[in-house]
Amino acid sequence: MPLTDTALRNAKPGAKPRKLADGGGLYLLIQPAGGRWWRLDYRFDGKRKTLSMGTYPDTPLTTARQGRDDARRLLAQGIDPGEHRKLTRNKAPQDADSFEAVAREWHAKFAPTWTDAHGARIITRLELNVFPWLGARPVGQITAPELLAVLRRIEARGRLETAHRAHQNCGAVFRYAVATGRAERDPSGDLRGALPPATKRHHAAIVEPKAIAELLRALDGYTGGLATACALKLAPLVFVRPGELRRAEWAEIDLDAAEWRIPAAKMKMREAHVVPLSGQALAILRELHPLTGQGRYVFPGALSADRPMSENTVNAALRRLGYEKETMTGHGFRSMASTILHEQGWPSDIIERQLAHAERNKIKGAYNRAQHLPERRKMMQAWADYLDALRIGGNVVPLRAGA
């Protein structure tokens, strides 16, 4: 069971070191002499590691849990939290024209236009892969071969996609340096073609109707907590991004109007998004409302109602149901809906708008933000009815756009 402040205050030292576990790898180590140390056990690249999280009571339980959650987010991005701490602790002030100083200035300027998760991934990528080798160098003196050496170091670790993303991020930093008068050119442009192309990875998804039917029946049979069960059932009906689903708030949902209005700050493209709710989606939300409706989040975390569900909860539930990550992921519900709806003949504009994909033509995008809502309502209800028919196993005749 999770620890409580009372249990921590009352815990006594023993003849041998004691561990009081809180969950997620976090525990309080009580030494016979009376010392109390927070520790976090985790695995990275197949190796067991331990991270110090401070002492109790100087570091209270809430702070230790926050540190654990932050470390778990780094692990989910393929980052060793121990190495990340070494790189970011006790850093000396940077020269204003150093690559790191310019990069952090660029990041601070543009971070408000990104989601929090996207901004965190960018700065962490630079901290782990670029700053240790180029951070102290004057940004205007860095050459293309120097940058290539850093990128090839990333590639040598088997992180080719990360190398390409670091290349893009560095290019943005160099262009910002040129614009602010601290560099004359962007050397990253000289490296086009220097790295082998990264294989585009698609989120695993089930798109064959018979397999979708089996998946839906498996979701209905989930025996875990109600909030997780409802998240699993709602995911295929709304096919939003996993982060948008787990951070849903009751204040954003109008059950009477059958709409979920996601604010721009939560969306990947920083544009407000409307999700029409089918009758089936409303039924799930009404079932869950007595349990979580008095709080902020539709799907609160297991340890605190003040935080949303963990980003790994839905994927972990799918694994529990027997669906490996190569077969189905939380993000895969988007691919499932997109594939089938396109096959059914629904207009691509309507589907892409419901997926909240970026509109490359900004003028068209500004126009389309207010369009297609009646058509999307019809499509979302037809999609829910189609899934119901698959689940039951009857003769499925999908409602098409022109019907």
pLDDT beyond 90 at 187: yes
Quick one: CA dihedral 106, 109, 115, 116, positive or negative? Answer: positive
Average pLDDT of 273-293?
95
Residues with Cβ < 8 Å from 340, sequence gap 6 or more? 207, 209, 212, 383, 386
Max mean pLDDT range (58-67, 76-85, 361-370):
58-67
Q: Which residue in 334, 353, 372, 376 is the catalytic one?
A: 334
Which tokens is 47 given?
Answer: 């190796």
pLDDT beyond 60 at 401: no
DSSP-assigned beta bridge partners for residue 274:
261
Q: Decide if 16 is catalytic.
A: no
Q: Decide if 367 is catalytic.
A: yes
d(CA 336, CA 344) in angstroms, rounded, equals: 12
Of 122, 147, 121, 144, residue with least CA distance to 135 = 147
pLDDT beyond 50 at 236: yes
For residue 131, what are the CA distances in angstroms to 83, 91, 127, 212, 310? Answer: 13, 11, 5, 45, 30
Q: pLDDT class for 87, splitting at 50, 70, 90?
A: low
Cβ proximity of 203 and 339 under 8 Å:
no
Q: Is CATH 3.40.1500.10 what the domain over 99-191 is classified as, yes or no?
A: no
Q: Which residue in 84, 241, 247, 266 is the catalytic one?
A: 241
Cβ proximity of 53 and 59 under 8 Å:
yes
Cβ proximity of 270 and 113 under 8 Å:
yes
Quick one: CA dihedral 106, 112, 115, 116, positive or negative? Answer: positive
pLDDT at 364 (0 to 100):
44
Environment class of 236 (CB within 10 Å of its CB; exposed 0-12, middle 13-18, buried 19+)? buried
Q: pLDDT class for 399, splitting at 50, 70, 90?
A: low
List the domain boundaries for the chain.
5-77, 99-191, 209-392
pLDDT beyond 60 at 398: no
Q: Which residue in 85, 164, 357, 391 is the catalytic one?
A: 357
pLDDT at 174 (0 to 100):
96
Of 283, 281, 311, residue with least CA distance to 299 = 311
- Please state, rounded to an integer, the average pLDDT across all residues of the chain: 87
Q: Which residue in 175, 268, 270, 296 is the catalytic one?
A: 268
- What percent of the chain stands above pLDDT 90? 55
Letter string b/e over residues 217-228, b meaning 16 or more CB atoms within 10 A of that residue's CB: ebbeebeeeebb
Average pLDDT of 361-368?
45
pLDDT beyond 60 at 137: yes
Q: pLDDT class for 109, splitting at 50, 70, 90?
A: very high
pLDDT beyond 50 at 183: yes
Contacts for 222-226: CB closer than 8 Å, 24+ residues apart? 222/317, 222/320, 222/321, 224/317, 224/320, 225/302, 226/287, 226/288, 226/291
Q: Is CATH 3.30.160.390 what the domain over 5-77 is classified as, yes or no?
A: yes
d(CA 403, CA 399) in angstroms, rounded, equals: 6
pLDDT at 114 (0 to 100):
80
pLDDT beyond 80 at 368: no
pLDDT beyond 60 at 402: no
pLDDT at 182 (0 to 100):
93
Q: Decide if 268 is catalytic.
A: yes
d(CA 168, CA 102) in angstroms, rounded, equals: 15
Environment class of 192 (CB within 10 Å of its CB; exposed 0-12, middle 13-18, buried 19+)? exposed
pLDDT at 403 (0 to 100):
52
pLDDT, one tens digit per residue, over 37-56 is: 999 999 887 789 999 988 89
Q: Decide if 241 is catalytic.
A: yes
d(CA 276, CA 380) in angstroms, rounded, equals: 7
pLDDT at 381 (0 to 100):
96
What is the rounded (10 degree) CA torsion for 114, 115, 118, 122? Answer: 50
Q: Decide if 200 is catalytic.
A: no
Q: Which residue in 86, 152, 367, 400 is the catalytic one?
A: 367
| Fold of the 209-392 domain | hpI Integrase; Chain A (1.10.443)
